[in-house]
Chains A and B, each alone.
Chain A
Amino acid sequence: MSMEIIEINGLRKRYGGRAAIDDVSFSVAEGEVFGVLGRNGAGKTTTVECVSGLRVPDAGTVSVAGLDPREDRAELRRSLGVQLQDCTLPDKLRVGEALRLYASFYDHPADWRALMEEVGLGPKRDTAFAKLSGGQRQRLSIALALVGSPRVAILDELTTGLDPKARRETWELIEQVRARGVTILLVTHFMEEAERLCDRVAVLDGGRVAAVDTPEGLIARVDNGQRLRFRAAPEAGAVLRALPEAATVTTEGDRHTVTGSGNLLLAVVTALAAHHITPRDFTMDRATLDDAFLSLTGHTADDSHDTSAPRRTHADHDVAGEE
């Protein structure tokens, strides 16, 4: 087990009379990509601001690489790289100049030219910030967070506002960054992003931690997380209903839908074969982090309209469960 590089214990912060975060605790292992997941207002940004030292919590402790963000601010700033949600650069500042400038702030900076190539901004070296696309700005912002060769990088709402292509490119970049061994604290409200990038996630809901687990672990908590659909003779319905693994079975003519958990696929195929029924157009899908989030918090994370890819919808899920 590797060392815990970030440890958060019982963190609380109130604004006015309202608790933004209430008793938030989790720890992050060195080299991990750790997601802080939740919808807008769940307390994600407040949590990571306490980690970066931008906010002082009302109660609780934070330790980053053994440092207290309040006591050891100067030391922490040298080992932490931060990408802030709403930070843009001066319009006339050029890509290469921004990287060279931020590299000059650190004692042991990365080679900013190599970093610029790595994030794909080499050809944009002399382009002014105002002329960059949203995706390019985001890549520059990530590069600036990494230019000090930090041990921990905090990336806040990295892909919000990006088109699907730019979002995918940003994800690929994060996968490369992970390979450097930098520990990443990734704030997001995109389930697909968390599922793809994160080793573990903390789900925040209303300022509290609803769960901390791997994305797979969270998904496995969803009951009847697997779903099979196929065409077969109508009498297959009775065979399926007899299976202990099948939680729900829907039959409409020759179209059958089965949900369940455990080794559902093997059970269904074996039972059908035993009755000499051959399924056609067989598809199987499993619950996603969306479903896991829904079952943990009672609502979807993404209350906006910008999901990037067709996903299994909750409406489908409900139909399958109506039987």
Chain B
Amino acid sequence: MATPVRQSAATRNPRPVRRRTRAGGMRMLLTTEALIYLREPMATFMTLGLPIGLLLGLGLSIPDFRVPLPEFGGQRVVDTQLPAMMIILSVSTSAFSAIPAALAVYRERGILRRLSVTPVPPSRLLGAQLVVNLASAVVATALTIVMGHLLLDSRLPAQLGWFAVSFVLGVGAMFAIGLLLAAAIPSSRAAGAIGAVVMFPLLFLGGMWVPREAMPELLRQISDFTPTGPFGQTLRDAWAGTTPEPLHLAVLAAWTLLASIAAARLFRWE
């Protein structure tokens, strides 16, 4: 009963190429992580359903959002403010809630430790988590742009190149902070609470409830140095056709770098 298993494996795969098998391992890890992600209805709701729902719900139901405002430089709320905030909401949920919680569970359950005795190191699982969340952020962003354009008559991003730069740096900064949270939180039970404590002030400073144009000067200056303020601002700038401010791009890059280094130092695999 037992021996044929080994033989059949050997005959079916007489000379497997090591590199291909390794890549196969990474691909399978990604597929599996994506499957698990899609089976968590809360994760897909919070990162896709809620932002798109709010975009359309608020955009369609509040007439003032569709009126050009002088303090927005003639923009309507649905043009850049609302969609940029929905992208930030989605990315924040991934970064501050989904990623730390998933990695805390993997650590608690000994899955990272279990992988460290296979040929695939546990860092690959961390990478797969990030890729799956990045994919979710890309889908949320694409849906925000397309749905906003079709149903709310929002603009398409005018400076696509700068938009992409802003997206990459913003997601980088937020995910790096997510990894830092994953490294610092003691347990998966604490992940939700700590994630919320980090997420809501950052959403506020990012302009979620008070647009940056309406913030008092001091608050806007504080906002300039958070990850969410520059992320939202650079997205909106690129959307409207203005080149993002170098300060904002530098702040995002700095957050990415510093949070990644801190996370790498603090991260525990078991």
Contact = CB atoms under 8 A, between A and B. Distances in A.
Contact of B117 (A52, A86, A114, A177): A52
Contacts of B111: 87-90
B61 interface: no
Nearest to B40: A92
A54 B105 CA distance: 20
Majority-rule SS of A interface residues: loop
A77 interface: yes
7 contacts: A54-B113, A87-B113, A104-B27, A110-B9, A111-B5, A180-B2, A180-B3
Contacts of B27: 104
A158 to B, nearest CB: 15
Interface in B86-126: 105-106, 109-111, 113-114, 116-120
B32 interface: yes
Interface stretch (B11-19, B148-156, B211-219, B259-267): B11-19
Tier of interface size on chain B: 35 or more
Contacts of B21: 104, 106-107
B1 A104 contact: no
Interface string A90-115: 10110001001110111111110011
B18 A118 contact: no
A-B pairs, top 3 by smallest CB distance, nearest first, are A87-B110, A104-B28, A180-B2
Q: Which of A89, A104, A118, A180 has the most CB of B within 10 A?
A: A104
Chain A interface category by residue count: 35 or more
B25 to A, nearest CB: 5
A90 B2 contact: no
Nearest to A86: B110
Given A87-B110, A104-B29, 5 more contacts: A84-B117, A88-B110, A102-B118, A107-B18, A118-B5
Contacts of A90: 36, 105-106, 109, 111
Contacts of B40: 92
Given A90-B36, A102-B118, A177 B109 contact: no
A80 interface: yes
A104 B16 contact: no
A259 interface: no
Nearest to B29: A101
Interface in A24-54: 52-54
Contacts of B9: 108-111, 149
A124 to B, nearest CB: 17
Nearest to A109: B9
Contact of B25 (A104, A110, A177): A104
B125 to A, nearest CB: 10
B258 interface: no
B10 interface: yes
B54 interface: no
Contacts of A148: 118-119
A68 to B, nearest CB: 15
Contacts of B32: 93, 97, 101
A53 B2 contact: no
